[in-house]
Amino acid sequence: MAGPDGRLRCPWGVQPDDYRAYHDTEWGREVRGDDELFERLCLEAFQSGLSWLTILRRREGFRSAFARFRIEKVAAYTEEDAVRLLADPGIIRNRMKIDATLHNARVLAEWKKGELTELIWSHAPAAQGRPAPRGHDDIPATTAESTALAKDLKKRGVRFVGPTTAYALMQACGLVNDHLADCAYR
């Protein structure tokens, strides 16, 4: 679909402005770095069952509440911090998702620097042989790679990540390119 500037975009990335900015500048672009990937993993988990627009509009609230997703800092959060987070209107106040975020930070804090980045990117599928999607129906919700990534993360103690969340992470962080074939940002 053409956006207000006339450029073709994936239909979801045309309106509102929040979606367009995210589509044009972030979605599908390579993300590396443990803290950066931790942020995306957490946001994808918080999005589960909700609109991505809800998450985008609260992103700064999440960043503030979770120490800009610095793994070491979030790993040090206490039960008192969890109670504080449950009262924070700037985030999604879901106890299971908050607990999973704190648990995951503690797990990841034990990993070697770069290990999360290496693990996630080891599940990137080969770009060759994967045709550009022409429409929404050409984009899967899960893949063999996202299923393997979710299993690998769970095996290592990471919670609240299934194959669908893992695939959304792969899309958002550039492991796969699901911009439609006619999208100017493909």
- Which residues contribute to the annotated binding site for Zn(2+)? 10, 23, 179, 183
> CA 85 → CA 57, 74, 93, distances in Å?
17, 12, 7
Do 43 and 56 touch, CB atoms closer than 8 A?
no
Query: How far from chain centre, in Å, is Cα 146?
Result: 13
d(CA 13, CA 11): 5
The 8-class DSSP code of residue 20 comes to: H
- Choosing from 27, 44, 77, 167, the catalytic residue is 44
- Choosing from 19, 22, 77, 167, the catalytic residue is 22
Other beta carbons within 10 Å of 10:
23
d(CA 180, CA 186): 7
- Choosing from 12, 26, 36, 52, the catalytic residue is 52
Is 77 annotated as catalytic? no
Is 110 annotated as catalytic? no
The 8-class DSSP code of residue 2 comes to: B
Is 22 annotated as catalytic? yes
d(CA 94, CA 46): 8
d(CA 97, CA 92): 8
Residues with a catalytic annotation lie at 22, 44, 52
